[in-house]
Amino acid sequence: MRSTAAAATVAIALLGLVAPARTFRVAPKMSMGSRSPLVMPQDPSQPPQPPAEPETPPGRPVPERRPAFLPTVGTGDKQTDVLSRLLKDRVLLLGSEVNDEVANVLVAQLLVLAADDPESDIQLWINSPGGSVSAGMAIYDTMQFIPCDVSTVCFGMAASMGAFLLGAGAKGKRKSLPNARIMVHQPLGGAQGQAADIEIQAKEILYTKVKRKKLEPKPRPKP
């Protein structure tokens, strides 16, 4: 009896030393030269946890994505974008390449301002590398057509057609900021096709050169 009781006591003691079964997550296979992730034990009684999101490095706030919008000015309910605010003060901006779309917008703005007040001047600020000759001539003709004077101001750069429009301002009302750059060059173009087509294109380029020369403002004589 004593031996049976002693054996039972030893069995109970051994059972108390055995730890409950635990499961382990199997690490994914890694290629040579990469580090294997650390295998962590997982409690079977707990539901699986989602992977933790990467932490943001200290000192680097998470950038908030905001939609792009045109800056506005004003107070209260009277908010308007800056270009409309400048238009109210009769200030126009040419800040890109001259093309048909830009020319249509500028022509429309010139006509509206001339209809509102035919006596007050219009300011045209120019920062343009040039562009289409036909689009630039549309702006030029409108500037000469409206009754009010157009004052031109160069900021940044006025090259090619941009320089031509800068000189299209009213006499004595053409200005340039101290660090602005102005560049004038001969008409550029190319031609391909039959000989007659190339000849027509060459005549058109020469016509544009002569026409621009006549329309450019003449330099003032030195006193």
Task: Tell me the catalytic residues.
Answer: 160, 185
Alpha-helix runs per DSSP H in the chain: 2-17, 82-88, 100-116, 133-145, 161-166, 195-215
Indicate the CATH number for domain 81-185.
3.90.226.10
Phi, psi of 39 (to 5 degrees): -85, 120
Nearest-angstrom CA–CA distance, 168 and 162:
10
Q: What is the pLDDT of residue 51?
A: 66
Nearest-angstrom CA–CA distance, 161 and 98:
7
Kindly tell me the number of DSSP H helices and DSSP E strands found in the chain: 6, 9
10-residue stretch averages of pLDDT, the chain, 223 residues long: 55 51 52 52 64 63 57 62 87 94 95 94 95 92 94 95 93 94 82 80 77 67 47
Cα four-point dihedral sign 81, 86, 89, 90:
negative
Phi, psi of 128 (to 5 degrees): -140, 140
Cα four-point dihedral sign 75, 78, 82, 87:
negative
